[in-house]
Amino acid sequence: MKLSNREKAAILIIGIGKTHAAEIYKHLSEDEIAALTLSVTTMKKVTDEDRDEVLNEFYETCIAKKFVREGGFEYARGVLNKALGDDKANEILSKLSESIQVRPFEFVRRADVSQVVHLIANENPQTIAMILSYLDPVKSSQVLVELENELQVDVVRRMANMESVIPEFIREAEVVLEQRLNQMGTSDQTMIGGIGSVVEIINRVDRSTERNILETLDMTDTDLAEEIRKNMFVFEDIIKLSPQSIQRVLKDVDQNELTVALKGTTDEVKEFILGNMSKRQQEMILDDLQVLGPVKVRDVEEAQQKIVNVVRFLDDSGEIIISRGDGSDVIV
């Protein structure tokens, strides 16, 4: 029996189990959730053969899309041909051909940093912001460091305020860039940029670049600077601190605030923080947690933010070091 796409989706949700299905549901719209749930509830008995076929097709599709993202459609075809044979590769890719979407500027994503810097050298800040939004945050941060100080700030501001780009503008930019790199890209209107992209990139640049961007934004766009700072280091990132750093932070943290903050965090964070306290302090915090009743989410978030502010202050003053991921925090 030939299964419809909706039936395949229902079988997949059933086959992967409740935990994984719940994670998928988080990324769906209300209409998609309603349609998928209806398919699941009205699904007749699923045979082992149907389940295995759907799961295998889903796995093959994911692998194929990964290859397409990495090197384009022809690259994916070459890899799949070697791994599965021509017939199977053609079967998988034919299923993808109508729906697959390659992110814009894929050919730029495959270029090295020096090539990207040379490529965007004469582009306007808006175009540079668009291109960096599509690149991997690590590569974008490396490119951002190479730009002039004033241009860095301008690009970051434009990225933060960017929400979507019309396909025509993307295609025009790709034509120009493809002529320089002799590569090919595809486009589609997608959500790009925003605070999330900016934070991921700034988190990976060196300290001087970060300071230049944020200090300049303090003078020209205070709200944006503050929004970026709030998102650069979240409470769960506290596990990235060294034992010496977290112990220093805890000296400036109110015990009551810490108790409330721990009420709404993960076991990993809780164990990390408690593990860097004296036994007596651990016992006091654990006792407080036991007697602490229900706490509003807003109160937990406020307590966690206060601790994050302490971390940021101590990092700015040089008393602790936040691991930045670019190698600039290595002590020699």
* Interatomic CA distance for residues 325 and 332, integer angstroms: 16
Report the CATH fold assignment for 233-316: Annexin V; domain 1 (1.10.220)
Given a cut of 50, whether residue 188 has pLDDT beyond it is no
pLDDT of the residue at 280: 92
pLDDT of the residue at 274: 93
Report whether 116 contacts 108 (CB < 8 A): yes
Report whether 305 contacts 232 (CB < 8 A): no
Given a cut of 70, whether residue 14 has pLDDT beyond it is yes
Take residue 41 and report the two structure tokens written for it: 């509830």
* Residue pLDDT, tens place only, 117-126: 888 888 889 9
Domain ranges of the chain: 5-96, 106-221, 233-316
Amino acid at 182: N
Report whether 67 contacts 76 (CB < 8 A): yes
User: pLDDT > 90: what percent of the chain?
Assistant: 17
* Residue pLDDT, tens place only, 125-163: 998 998 888 888 888 898 999 998 889 999 999 988 887
249-262: average pLDDT = 92
Tell me the pTM: 0.41
Higher pLDDT, residue 253 or 18: 253
* Residue pLDDT, tens place only, 284-310: 999 998 888 888 888 888 888 889 889
Q: What kind and span of H or E run contains 246?
A: helix 243-251
* Interatomic CA distance for residues 235 and 303, integer angstroms: 10
Q: What is the DSSP string of 224-239?
A: HHHHHHHHHS-GGGGG
* Interatomic CA distance for residues 200 and 236, integer angstroms: 15
pLDDT of the residue at 167: 66
Q: Of 174, 188, 178, which Cα lies nearest the Cα of 101? A: 188
* Interatomic CA distance for residues 285 and 256, integer angstroms: 9
Asked if the domains 106-221 and 233-316 are classified in one and the same CATH topology, the answer is: yes
Question: Collapsing DSSP states into helix, strand and coil, what is residue 72?
Answer: coil
Report the CATH fold assignment for 106-221: Annexin V; domain 1 (1.10.220)
173-192: average pLDDT = 57
Q: Over the range 224-258, which residues count as b (16 or more CB within 10 Å of their CB) and which as e? A: bbebbbeebbebeebeebeeebbebbbeebeeebb
